[in-house]
Amino acid sequence: MPHRLVISLFACVCVAMVFAAAPQADRIGAVRGFRLESPAHFVLPPRPATPTLSQKAVRLAREQLGVPYSYGGASPSGFDCSGLVSWVYGRLGLSLPHNAAALYGVGRPVPRAKLRPGDLVFFSGLGHVGLYIGRGRMIHSPQSGERVEIQALGSRSTPPVGARRVV
């Protein structure tokens, strides 16, 4: 017998054995194009969670790391502390004042132990504000001659005077 004929015949016998071993409903389904039941089922991975407004704010603020401090600045060419916060949330559709003390009147108070990323943290008698990013750190635009940076809350010379949750 030619070699190709042997291989074809062997393949046909294998397929026939598979159909003979399958239950009647599965054989009919396979012949008609229905699905074959299988012990292995493919499960789609869960959809990634949509980021919250606070998470988007932290991500957007991180993109501004290294931008120089500019008194009264509220754009990626230069920020002051409240300008950074108001610009970040403004890009996300939330209009906030460009003044640290005025920002303290927005949202609701949050105890330091309950801070979440996106919360506003205030210092220096409401003269400075930063955006909390988690793990005891914030992003802020410190002062003239410096750039937007991440800083640990505990590394400041004075503790926070308060915090607010705006979303």
Q: Average pLDDT in the 113-120 region?
A: 98
Q: Average pLDDT in the 44-71 region?
A: 95
Q: Is the model more confident about 19 or about 64?
A: 64
3-state secondary structure the chain: CCHHHHHHHHHHHHHHHHHHHCCHHHHHHHHHCCCCCCCCCCCCCCCCCCCCHHHHHHHHHHCCCCCEECCCCEECCEECHHHHHHHHHHHCCCCCCCCHHHHCCCCEECCHHHCCCCCEEEEHHHCEEEEEEECCEEEECCCCCCECEEEEHHHCCCCCCEEEECC
State the pLDDT confidence band at 17, using cuts at 50, 70 and 90.
Answer: low
Quick one: how far is CA 123 from the chain centroid?
A: 27
Cβ-contact 151, 130 below 8 angstroms: yes
pLDDT at 78 over 90: yes
From the candidates 3, 14, 41, 81, give the one annotated as an active-site residue. Answer: 81
* Positions of CATH 3.90.1720.10 in the chain: 53-165
83 CB neighbour count, 10 Å cutoff? 23
What does the pLDDT look like over 137-156, one tens digit per residue? 999 999 999 999 999 999 99
CATH 3.90.1300.10 fits 53-165, yes or no: no
In percent, the amount of the chain with pLDDT more than 90 equals 71
Q: Please give the model's pTM, rounded to 2 decimal places.
A: 0.73
From the candidates 3, 14, 41, 128, give the one annotated as an active-site residue. Answer: 128
pLDDT at 20 over 80: no
128 is catalytic: yes
pLDDT at 77 over 80: yes
In percent, the amount of the chain with pLDDT more than 70 equals 78
81 is catalytic: yes
